[in-house]
Each structure stands twice: as C-alpha cells, then as structure tokens.
Structure 1
Amino acid sequence: MTPKGTAGAQLDLTRYVHILFIAGGAVAAYLAYNIIHNIWVHFSPDPSFPLLFALSLAAGGGLAFYFWHHEQTRQLAQEVVGELSRVTWPTRPELGAATVVVIVTSIVMAIVLGLFDFLWSWLTTVIY
C-alpha cells in the first residue's frame, strides 16, 4: 500500500470511488430490470429477456455515467472515501470488549425493566 499524501494514495481512493459508481450502476440496473419487467408483463404475455436486459443495463449505465460526470456528486464521493480512509477502526479485542459491554448492558436493562413491569402490574392489581 502506498503511503498517505502521495499520488498513489489518491489513486487508491479514486479506485474505491470507481467501484462505488460501478456498484451503484449495477444496483440501478437490477432495479430498472425489475421495474421494467413488472411493467412489461402487464402489456405483453411473453417478455423479451434480451430487450429487458439491454434496457436495464442502459438505464443503470446511464445513471452511473450521469452521476460520474456530475462534478458535485463525484467530489462528494471522493470526500466520503477520503474521510473513511482516515477513520481508525477498532481492533478485534476492542470490538469483542465493546460487544460484551453492549450485551451485559442489554441484559441488565432487561432485568430492570422486567422488575419495573412486575412492580407496576402488582401495584395496579392491589389498587384496582
């Protein structure tokens, strides 16, 4: 991996932005295929798979191409990837310790809420 602050580091970040736009285009193509297929079935009993596939690929590719050439969107995606590269991710022991804390806290709070529920139900049966 190249050190931060070099042109290679910028290329690494740009690679992630490219992957992001390609994945977004693939998701858009999948959604377009499902939408076009659902509409097409109402008008034709036999949907043409190659035509639907081509239309969905064109829609997904066109959407990815539009957002890639939209300067503000591309700049925002590069800033997001840059910020994510500066995040310090927890180590496995830190993650395990934090998970144990969450589980223990959840169990303690469940017990406290259960006791409050028991107390209020007993109190309402005594009063009413």
Structure 2
Amino acid sequence: MMAGFFGAAILGAYVLGKAIHGLWGNLSNRDWFSRAVPTLAAVTDEDKAMYATMIAGVIALVVTLRTYRRPDVREWTDEVASELIKVKWPTKKDVTNSTVVVIAASAVATLYLALLDRLWSFVTGIVYGTGS
C-alpha cells in the first residue's frame, strides 16, 4: 500500500517539477520579471531544472505524507487493494490473442476504407468529368 503512495509522490514531483521549471523559464524571459527579481531571472536553465525538481519533491513529499496520515484515505486504499486482488486478470496468451484480433480487424477495416475511398474518388471523377 505504501508503494502506491510512494509512486504517486514520485509522479507528482516529476509533473510539478516540470511545471515549475516551465513557468520559471517562461517568466525569466519577461522584462518585468527580470527587473523585479533579477537573481531568479539570472539562474541557468540546468539550475532551474534542479531547483524546480527539489521544490516539487518537497511539495510532493508533504502532500503525500499528509494524505497518507488520513485514516479515511488509508481505509479506501486498503479497500481498493483488496478489490484488485479479487479481479481475474487475463493470461498472457489471452492478451496476445486479443491483440492479434485487434490488429487484424484494424488492417481489414483500413483496407475496406481505402477501397471505398478509391471507389468514391473514381465515381466523383466520372461525375465531375475529371477522370475516366
């Protein structure tokens, strides 16, 4: 159960870090930001990425720990985990067979639509006099 919270924290830190880095980079290109906070605007791009990741990591850690400490959230995650155990997951053979069927059906549909496109192109060419 804790692994799910850990995974969510890592994902949250990554996404938030990218958002902070993008926002910081965008603001650094603005004249008013460079005048208001010249120290932050002068930071190199690699350092912006590092600081943004560190800030996002701390924020994600705090949010994850606060969420994990709530008893109702832990109870809900336990219920979800117990329901996932009850699910009958398909075997590798079933997944492979289903994938082959989907690929074959997609190929047939693509061929059918391509032939229809050629047919209607030929018919409209005859109607409008641009084809034979």
Per the shorter chain, which TM-score range? Answer: 0.5 to 0.7
Of 116-125 and 73-82, the range deviating more from structure 2: 73-82
Instruction: Give the Cα separation in 1 of the matches to 2:48 and 2:107.
Output: 55
Q: Percent of counterpart pairs with the same letter? A: 27
Instruction: Give the Cα separation in 2 of the matches to 1:127 and 1:27.
Output: 57
Residue in structure 2 matched with residue 104 of structure 1 by the alignment: 104
- 1:87-127 CA-to-partner distances (Å, cap 9, x unmatched) read 21222222221121111111111111111111111111111
* RMSD between superposed Cα atoms in Å: 2.8
- 1:16-70 CA-to-partner distances (Å, cap 9, x unmatched) read x211111111222333434444556634223589876653332111110222233
TM-score for the superposition, normalised by structure 2: 0.65
Matched, 1:23 2:7: yes
Kindly name which structure, 1 or 2, has the bigger radius of gyration based on alpha carbons.
2
Please say if residues 13 and 60 of structure 2, whose CA atoms lie closer than 8 Å, have aligned partners that are also in contact: yes
2:56 aligned partner, one-letter code: S
Instruction: Give the Cα separation in 2 of the matches to 1:122 and 1:50.
Output: 59
Instruction: Give the Cα separation in 2 of the matches to 1:65 and 1:127.
Output: 70
Aligned pairs (5 A) from 1:25-104: 25-38=9-22, 42=28, 43=37, 44=40, 45-46=42-43, 55-104=55-104
Residue in structure 2 matched with residue 117 of structure 1 by the alignment: 117
1:65 aligned partner, one-letter code: L
Instruction: Give the Cα separation in 1 of the matches to 2:48 and 2:126.
Output: 71
Q: Give the match's secondary structure for 1:75.
A: helix
Instruction: Give the Cα separation in 2 of the matches to 1:120 and 1:53.
Output: 55
Do the aligned partners of residues 96 and 53 (structure 1) sit closer, same or farther apart at CA in structure 2, a change above 3 Å counting?
A: closer
TM-score for the superposition, normalised by structure 1: 0.67
- Runs of 5+ consecutive residues of structure 2 not aligned to the other structure: 29-36
